[in-house]
Structure formats: structure tokens, C-alpha cells
Structure 1
């Protein structure tokens, strides 16, 4: 896909890897572009039913490239926007700016995304991890909402996701201090779904299971879950009914029933 990200596809699963291993997959400008372009390309691919997001080498993602902090120091001073930097409040990708879209693009991908984390997931790398639907991590993975270390706030779409996952007081403590916590602690905090000594292998097994289900229903499931937070109960009830009406009696739904009754592997079609 690019010099920063590799994508391999098999059996409906897109295996996406950050491949800047010499820098622990840190986020430079090229990596931001690659993350956005890759999520956009996968969103348009009707054959992709599930995505795995992981990092090559020793880490998932070490966060913002150190060179970016050097630029901040050079452009620092009193008030205003450092010279040459686009104001972050400007929306460039729907409701998001460019940096946020590097995470939000995975959150809004129409199919499930499973992140497999090891080594470190720090700052922007931690927010990237949160962009997935499901997160599998090695128990020793080091994580942190690290932005405060650099005098910043988390601003890569992480805050609306974190508030839905973590207890408010714990989230505030982690954000105010920037302290590092383990993958095992992240499960207790609500950030990580499950632990694994081999996160990528377990993510692949789970992705293959999901890819073997009715892709129309899976896409509808994600659409529901992505909208629930901003909907009233009445709106949520209506949405599930509307989507179910679209699915009932469709070829893939009928195939799901027939394969289940016939105790055989279903054969679904893509491109709905």
C-alpha cells in the first residue's frame, strides 16, 4: 500500500501492518497519509469483511515522531498558531481534521477492525489502537495517554472513544499524569478486549471467524454500534428495524439460514 503500511488480503481479511519498524512505527507525516489512504481504500473494497491492524517489529506504535516535537519547539512562543501549521480546528475530513482521520478512519470503516498490540502503544499510537472495534494486546504492552508529557492534550480522536470505554475518574488520572500502564491493566481499565501472548495470531483467528459470517449483517452491526452513542433510544430502535428490514430475505441472509440448517460452511457474496 505504501512505504509505511503493508496490506495483505485473504479470505475476506485485510491484514494491515505499520512497517516503519526502525522507528517503532512512529507517526510521521508519511505515516499519517498512509493510515488515511489505507482506511479509505479498504472502505471501498467490497471483498474486505474484517481488518487486522498491527505493527511490525518491536512495537504497535510509539506515537508521534520525535521530529514533530522538535518542530513544535522551533515554532513555539506566545499564543497563536506556529508558522506554517494549519489550525487543527479546521475540518478536512468530514467531522475530523487530518490527524484525527488517521484514527477515525478505522473507527468509521464499514467492517470490523481488530487491533493486535505488542511492545508499546503510546500517545498517538494508543489513540490509533482505540480506533479499532476490538483490541487484543500482549499483557506486557506499554501504553500511555502520553500527550501531557509534551504539554499537549490527546487530539487524535481518542477522547470520544476513551470516554465510552473507561471510567471517568480513571481516564482523567491517566490523562493528567501520562503514566505508563500495561496491557494487563488496560483490560481492567476497559481499553483492551483481551490479552494474548500472540496478539496477531489471535486477531487473525477472530477476523477469520467474523469474515465467515453474513457480511451484510456484520456491516449493519457496526453501523448500529457506531451510531448508538449519538442516538436516542427511539432512534436506535428505529435504526435496528430499518437495517433488519434490509437484511431479512436477502441472498446472504438466506444463505446463512440454509448453511446453518444444512450444517455446512456458508458461501456469501460480497459487494452489497
Structure 2
């Protein structure tokens, strides 16, 4: 991508040779979600879906993660066009991020509003700096968050917390979000912590991580009984991967904590 485009997708290797992809919101100072940003993210997510790495880090550069959606995006839309907008964003951004067969980490170093927060909620793990603040503030234009924020917030924090956050439109700090179970970890140097975690996950058993995501998704859609029903098949498939037999051999050869993984 050119330097003028609003996102940047880079692929690198960990010290152990595992591929990591870093997707950066790169349109400071506000990283607003205008049509160009949405289009770039759709392209990036499609590329990640077509060629998944072993882990993904989503981050931003600039003073804020994002100031939210450019309100021009909503101007002049009728009911059908508004519904089509959200269907498209679910289909091409939120759902594909959740469906990536690898861990996805989101790093929030500062203010994270609306679409950026909803994308964070679609990731597996959210890390934040102490000064980060989060908000779903769509009420200022008479909307409710519609890229999956309320329901994913309810999953992490409970329905009462989700309604409070959305209906007040207030900003909530990283410590509060951690206490609510929305943010997983708070770090002074969140960028370094996010890179370290992403690399650690990338060097782990990618197929097992993907299986974990499938089991959790089954729970989300059908509860514990549905998750129990799919687990034998999902977990059984791991015995046909390169990761599991190689790791078992290294465990038996060199002991626990030193397993080596490869393949998908």
C-alpha cells in the first residue's frame, strides 16, 4: 500500500520464524472511519482471510486510536441504505476478523471510539494503555452502534454494562474496562506488550487456537450444550495437523514448556 492510504498491512516473522501480520490504522491525527478507511480495511481483512498468518495485531498510529466514524458516511442514507451499510460491514469486516483461524490482538494506546472499539470487540484479546479511553458514542447522531458493539460488549461485560455504556455515550477508562472484563490487560507500554503477546501466540499451536475460537463461537451461538457437541470433532481434527504430533514429540524428547509448533 502507498504511504497515503489510511491503513498499512505488514507481515513479519517472529524470532522462531512464525508469520505475524500487523494491521495499522495509519490516517492520523484522528484515524477517522470514512469511506476510504472502510474500503482499505475491507481489502486488508480479505487479504488476511485469504492468507492467514499465525497471529494478527491490530493497532493504530497517532495521538488517538480513532476519533470514530466520519459522520458524512451517514448523510442522506434512507432506511434500506442504512441497513445495507451495516450488513456490508458485518460481512466484510467484523465477521471475517472473528473468523480468522488465528489469534487476533488489539492494542489501544489512547482514545478508541465507535467503529474502532467495535473492531476491538471482534478481536480475541484487547490490550490497553492506562490512558486509553473507550466509547460507543453514536447517540450524538441518533444512532446505536451497529457493527456488533453492544452485543459483544454485553458478552464481555454483561447486558447492564453494555446498555449503560451505549445509552450514556460516556467515555470509560482502561482500568474500568479491565474491571468489567472488556479489556484483557493494561500495560504502560502497550505497543511492546501487544507485540510480545502476538509473537508468543504466533509461536504457539495455531490450529489449537483456531479450535478454541470455534468452540467459543459454538458457545456464543448455542450455549454450553452446543459447544460440548462440537468439541469432539473440532478437537479431534487437531490430531491430523502438523502442530500436535510435532509438539508431542518435542514434549517427550525435551520436556514440558519446550514444544515446537509448525504448519496449520
Range class of TM-score, shorter chain:
0.7 to 0.9
Query: What TM-score, normalized by structure 1, do the two folds share?
Result: 0.85
Q: Which runs of 4+ in 1 moved over 4 A?
A: none
Does residue 123 (structure 1) correspond to residue 114 (structure 2)? The answer is yes
- Structure 2 vs 1, CA of residues 45 and 231 (structure 1 numbering), >3 Å: closer, same or farther? same
- Say yes or no: does 1:63 pair with 2:68: yes
Structure 1 residue runs of 5 or longer lacking an equivalent are: 76-80
Q: Contact 1:39–1:109 (CA<8 Å) still a contact in 2?
A: no
Match of 2:251 in 1: 260
Q: Partner of 2:235: helix, strand, or coil?
A: helix
- Alpha-carbon spacing, 1:198–1:219, altered in 2? closer, same or farther (3 Å): same
Higher-helix-fraction structure = 2
Count of paired positions: 253
Distance in 1 between residues matched to 2:12 and 2:95, nearest whole Å: 24
How far, CA to CA, are the matches of 1:66 and 1:152 in structure 2?
11
CA distance in 1 between counterparts of 2:178 and 2:241 reads 38
| Residue among 16, 19, 31 paired with 2:23 | 16
Show the 5 A alignment for 1:75-224: 75=76, 81-82=77-78, 87-90=81-84, 97-100=87-90, 101-224=92-215
* Partner SS for 1:54: strand
Alignment RMSD (CA, Å): 2.1
Match of 1:78 in 2: none
**Secondary structure of residue in 1 paired with 2:83:** coil
Give, in whole Å, the separation in 1 of the partners of 2:221 and 2:11: 33
Q: Partner of 1:45 in structure 2? A: 51
1:36 to 42, 59, 63: 42
TM (normalized to structure 2)? 0.88
CA distance in 2, matches of 1:140, 1:189: 17
Shift of 1:86: 5.2
